[in-house]
C-alpha cells in the first residue's frame, strides 16, 4: 500500500447504528484485525494489503467498508460524549459562514467566534453561547451583550447533534456516508439542504 495515497475517513457507528466518529483506514484495520467490527455497510471498500505470509505465500488483505459498526466496549466512554467539541471551523460551518449580526457570508479567515454573553460578563465558551461574527461586527459589539450593544442576533445558536458534527468536521465525505448521516440530522437543522 502506498502510504502517501489519500484515503477517505471511515465512519464508525456503535453496534446500534448510531454515528460515533471518523477514523483513519489504519484505525479501521485495527478494528477488523481485533474482530471488533460488529457489521459493515456502505458502498465503498478500501482494500489494504499487507505482507506476504511465508507459509502460504499469500499476501494479507483487509477490506475496510466506508461505514463500520464497532462492538460493545471498543468505543471508550470519553469518546461517547454527548456535546461535540467546539472549534471555529465547525462553528463557522454550523452557521454557514454567515455573520449573526450583519448577515454577510464570508470566508473563515474573515470570521470570528463571538460570545453572545461575553466571557468578561460570565458567559461560557460553549455552543449555546457562541455565534459566527465578521470582524467588524465583533469589534463593534466589543465586550457587551447584543442588547447592550443595540445589535440584533439574526439566528440562534444550537448544539449540533453527533451526525451534524460529523458532517461539519469532515470535508471529504463519501456519498454513502453522507446518505447515512443525513438520516440522523433533524429536519430543522441549519445544515439543510445538505
Q: What is the pLDDT of residues 62-83, one digit of tens each?
A: 888 999 999 876 555 555 557 7
Supply 75's cell numbers. Answer: 468505543
- Tell me the average pLDDT of the chain: 87
Are residues 118 and 183 both part of a single domain?
no
13 and 69 housed in the same domain: yes
CATH of the domain at 100: 1.10.30.50
Full DSSP string of 95-152: TTTB-TTT--B--GGGEEEEESS-GGGT--SSGGGEEEEEHHHHHHHTTS-HHHHT--
Residue 23 belongs to a domain: yes
Question: What share of the chain has pLDDT > 90, as a percent?
Answer: 53
Whether 59 and 52 have beta carbons less than 8 Å apart is answered as yes
Containing structural domain, residue 96: 88-149
Number of domains within the chain: 2
In terms of domains, do 13 and 70 share one? Answer: yes
Instruction: Looking at the structure, tell me whether residues 108 and 134 fall in a common domain.
Output: yes
Quick check: is 156 in a domain?
A: no
Question: pLDDT tens digit string along 134-161?
Answer: 999 999 999 999 999 999 999 999 999 8
Amino acid at each position: 500500500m502506498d502510504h502517501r495515497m489519500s484515503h477517505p475517513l471511515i465512519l464508525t457507528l456503535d453496534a446500534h447504528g448510531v454515528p460515533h466518529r471518523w477514523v483513519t483506514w489504519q484505525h479501521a484495520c485495527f478494528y477488523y484485525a481485533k474482530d471488533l467490527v460488529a457489521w459493515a455497510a456502505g458502498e465503498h471498500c478500501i482494500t489494504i494489503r499487507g505482507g506476504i505470509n511465508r507459509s502460504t505465500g499469500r499476501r494479507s488483505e483487509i477490506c475496510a467498508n466506508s461505514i463500520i459498526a464497532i462492538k460493545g466496549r471498543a468505543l471508550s466512554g470519553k469518546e461517547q460524549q454527548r456535546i461535540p467539541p467546539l472549534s471555529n471551523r465547525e462553528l463557522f460551518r454550523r452557521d454557514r459562514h454567515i455573520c449573526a449580526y450583519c448577515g454577510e457570508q464570508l470566508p473563515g479567515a474573515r470570521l470570528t467566534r463571538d460570545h453572545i454573553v461575553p466571557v468578561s460578563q460570565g458567559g461560557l465558551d460553549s455552543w449555546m453561547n457562541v455565534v459566527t461574527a465578521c470582524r467588524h461586527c465583533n469589534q463593534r459589539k466589543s465586550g457587551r451583550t447584543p442588547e447592550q450593544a443595540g445589535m440584533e442576533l439574526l439566528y440562534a445558536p444550537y448544539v449540533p447533534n453527533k451526525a451534524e458534527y460529523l458532517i461539519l468536521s469532515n470535508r471529504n465525505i463519501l456519498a454513502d456516508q453522507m446518505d447515512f448521516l443525513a438520516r440522523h440530522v433533524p429536519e430543522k437543522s441549519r445544515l439543510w439542504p445538505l
